[in-house]
Amino acid sequence: MPPLPPITQALILINVAMFCLDEPLNGLLTHYFALYPIQSGLFYPWQVISYAFLHGSLPHIFFNMMGLWMFGSELERIWGSRRYMEFLLASVLTAAAAQLILSLLAGWNNYTVGASGGIYGLLLAFGMMFPNRTIMPLFPPIPMKAKVFVAVFGGLELLQGVTGTASGVAHFAHLGGMLGGWLMMRFWRGQPPFKSRRGPRRF
């Protein structure tokens, strides 16, 4: 595990604090800051960001914070705080947009919480920047290259989202986070669908 740089550390602390406060407050934070469908009557604009700081269970927050630590720490050191936060914001927003659109089209009324959209964006970026680095996931505990890991998890999310398996999980929000991360990487590199940018490419 890499050491914690400042933004990653702050995000983990905020997420843990929000998780610990929500139950004593009888779900008050969830009521106002979870991402509710637009048609529910409980949607507020700030929810497209605030939902990423809430989690529904101890395993939920544990695995998300582990992913933030594993993938976010190194990316923050490479990008710096500003670009790191820009990237996370893009992933969180596109994850929220995907979930809101699907909720509207499918008539879903369940709220969404969790940093998973941002984590999946970081996962994609890690795979793009270090495609041949070997990593050891907890599930399954099989060493694999980062590019394979990204492809496997992205494929599973798409399969489960289309087939409706693992209900209660916002699979398309995860894929939306990956899309936002991919778009940010393409933007920074000056690759289509964005115009080429002059000067050296850092990533």
Catalytic residue among 55, 91, 116, 171: 116
Confirm whether 91 is a catalytic residue: no
- Assess contact for 61 and 15: CB atoms under 8 A: yes
| C-alpha–C-alpha distance, residues 70 and 161, integer Å | 25
Catalytic residue among 50, 73, 103, 174: 174
Residue 49 backbone dihedrals phi, psi, to 5 degrees:
-115, -45
3 state SS of 55? coil
| C-alpha–C-alpha distance, residues 28 and 26, integer Å | 6
3 state SS of 144? strand
| C-alpha–C-alpha distance, residues 138 and 66, integer Å | 10
| C-alpha–C-alpha distance, residues 122 and 136, integer Å | 16
Confirm whether 167 is a catalytic residue: no
Residue 112 backbone dihedrals phi, psi, to 5 degrees:
-125, 135
Chain centroid offset of residue 182 CA? 12
Residues designated as active site: 116, 174
